[in-house]
Amino acid sequence: MPKSLSTALKAAAQLFFLGVVGLTLYSCVQRPAAQSQATLEGLQGQPLVRVALGKYFPAEGNSAVIAVEGEYRVASSRSGGVLHHGSTLPASVAMPGRKGGLLIGAQSFSERDLRVLPAFDGSLKVGDRYYRGALRVVATDEDRLLLVNEVPMEEYIAGVLGAEMPLDYPRAALEAQAVAARTYALYEIRQAEKDGRSELWHVLDDTRSQVYAGTLRDTEKARAVVASTRGVVLLSGGRLFCTYFHSTCGGSTEAADLFFPVPHMAPLSGRPCEYCSGSRWSAWQAEISKQDLCTRLGVKDVSGLAIVEKTPGIHALKIQAGGKSWNGLDFRLAVGPDRLFSTAFDVEDRGATYLFRGRGYGHGVGLCQVGSRGMAELGYEASDILNYYYPSAEILRVY
């Protein structure tokens, strides 16, 4: 190959590589590349995420259906030593053995904390879902099973993205979501370290953390989006923060500290949002009988129900009825998040019922997903979306 062509190809390959790993995201941040890198204390490369499978958390059962479609090893979590090699693990029950150990397939083990390590990525199955990485199987002191999928961060984010945002959303919205999800996960890992539980688990796979469905929606598009934002997170004053996100704010996002036990900070201080207008969740109504509300709220008399304090945005901050009061989030959860889609509502007394007229879907804090789609459709890039919903946060690659 002529040297000039070889050099040109190498240069093209380098450009392609840089594009794939993140210049698309930085292209409109307008910072020199040198400032786009950061290091986080204790972080060397992508971390492993320990995802406790919510179905087994809290650990209540003593069996689970797990399988490995291919070769696998079973190792001691304590020593790392391999205890067993297998060719395939058919749909198999793992449970605390009567003698105090674990049964995995036909194999019994005296240890109560094991790792199932598939030889082929994605060949692990728990229930009807496939997973990348390894599975930690722990028998708790109460003889219950705890299952934890241990998976590299980028694989984890590929499994979160399509579970948290429709994959037919525009690319920029998906990139913004991937960065928010990665930041959230890293923040949760730090919290788990502070809480002293990080050796066992960091996040749950459901809405108690963020939804992760293994490889269920881990499509080529999801993986491409994740690859293009690899290692990119949001920082505030050099620190990770809890990058809340939700479906539809309904017109304004809210300061996180109004609803969650976090300090006030600029990136989570709330923004007006016109980008989610016209969505299916822009306006909703729920008419609920007073009798039903009494039951759900645990009060004898719900008459006089009123919003006594609103946020600076559009959400209900404090609601009173029957001598009790709730903040908007607790009230929504008590009444039912499938009936009150958000905390942005007005309430009207209709005799035997109350009519709630609301806007938006979700808690209204942080990134508005439908608004992100709206911004992306108007031509905004992922960095614009992140700068909008997390104002003054820095967008940086940390590995």
Binding site for Zn ion (CB under 5 A): 249, 273, 276, 368, 371
Q: How many residues does the chain have?
A: 399
The answer to whether residues 143 and 62 touch, using CB atoms and an 8 Å cutoff, is yes
In terms of CB distance, is 249 or 382 closer to Zn ion? Answer: 249
The answer to whether residues 76 and 99 touch, using CB atoms and an 8 Å cutoff, is no
In terms of CB distance, is 222 or 276 closer to Zn ion? Answer: 276
| Least distance (Å) between residue 368 CB and Zn ion | 3
| Least distance (Å) between residue 277 CB and Zn ion | 8
| Least distance (Å) between residue 169 CB and Zn ion | 14
Q: How far is residue 326's CA from residue 307's CA, in Å, rounded to a whole number?
A: 10
Q: Is 347 helix (H, G, I), strand (E, B) or coil?
A: strand
In terms of CB distance, is 176 or 192 closer to Zn ion? Answer: 176
| Least distance (Å) between residue 363 CB and Zn ion | 12
Q: Is 130 helix (H, G, I), strand (E, B) or coil?
A: strand
In terms of CB distance, is 47 or 270 closer to Zn ion? Answer: 270
Which residues are CB-contacts of 223 (< 8 A; sequence separation ≥ 6)? 158
The answer to whether residues 339 and 286 touch, using CB atoms and an 8 Å cutoff, is yes
| Least distance (Å) between residue 249 CB and Zn ion | 3
Q: Which long-range contacts (C-beta less than 8 Å, at least 24 apart) are formed by 126-129?
A: 126/53, 126/64, 126/65, 126/66, 126/214, 127/55, 127/64, 127/65, 129/213, 129/214, 129/215, 129/216
| Least distance (Å) between residue 173 CB and Zn ion | 12
In terms of CB distance, is 225 or 368 closer to Zn ion? Answer: 368
Q: How far is residue 41 from each of residues 44, 183, 190, 215, measured CA to CA in Å?
A: 9, 15, 10, 30
In terms of CB distance, is 214 or 366 closer to Zn ion? Answer: 366
In terms of CB distance, is 159 or 251 closer to Zn ion? Answer: 251
Q: Is 315 helix (H, G, I), strand (E, B) or coil?
A: coil
What's the token pair of residue 124?
Answer: 């692990």
What's the token pair of residue 94?
Answer: 């793992």
